[in-house]
Amino acid sequence: MPGDRPSRATEAFFGRRRGKALRPAQQAALEKTLPALKVDLASAPPAPLEKLFPVPVTEVRLEIGFGGGEHLHHRSAAMPEAGFIGVEPFHNGMAKLVSALSDDPRPNLRLYDDDATQLLDWLPEASLAGIDLLYPDPWPKKRHWKRRFVSAVNLDRFVRVMRAGAEFRFASDIDTYVNWTLLACRSHPAFQWQAASADDWRKPYPGWPGTRYEAKAIREERTPAYLTFIRV
């Protein structure tokens, strides 16, 4: 049932954890900043979830796989009334964001550096106003498609933690993954695609700052798509 918490018995995280060696300043920022901001899954989530943050917030949003953190850092500044949780298991991506936070902190931001499904299973029901999954690993080989984060079991996870009316935003430059996500969400009874014309998925989201990965995709003549689904 969509309201039940999925079993973790057969799950695993796929993807790199580490890249090239960090610069000393990045390592220092990681060691100083991440422990203070990391969500502790060993403790019960606060009720309401907004109490997770040291400043007053009116809602909580989640970004899964934030890469270098450009979008998350920008959006948490643009929406100080919202609390944001960012998940990134790739060590180097997390280091880039916490380095930026050393100079420009965000009191409305918390972080998690492991498998996003662990965090999703920890979150209370109907606690999120939105989930962003932006340029996730496309796993382009067909035999690896089962590793894609958009799946029936993860959409059920989304449904459990999203409030009615919450947004699921998905962006990718890989057409097979865009089609995969459209099919998965349109076949799920809890998601409604928000698009009246092609321009609705060709135009970036309002206030979109862009990312380095997106810029590379455009240089290589891959066209991004920006999908929005509402949790009904």
Active site residues: 137
- From the list 38, 34, 19, the residue with the least C-alpha distance to 92 is 19
In this structure, is the dihedral angle defined by the CA atoms of residues 14, 45, 185 and 219, taken in order, positive or negative? negative
- CA–CA distance, 168 with 154 (Å, rounded to integer): 12
Residue at 77: amino acid letter = A
Q: Up-side HSE of residue 160: CA atoms within 13 Å toward CB?
A: 20
Could you tell me which residues come within 8 angstroms of residue 23 by beta carbon, excluding any fewer than 6 positions away?
Answer: none
User: What are the CA-CA distances from residue 62 to residues 49, 110, 156, 202, 222 (Å)?
Assistant: 12, 10, 16, 23, 26
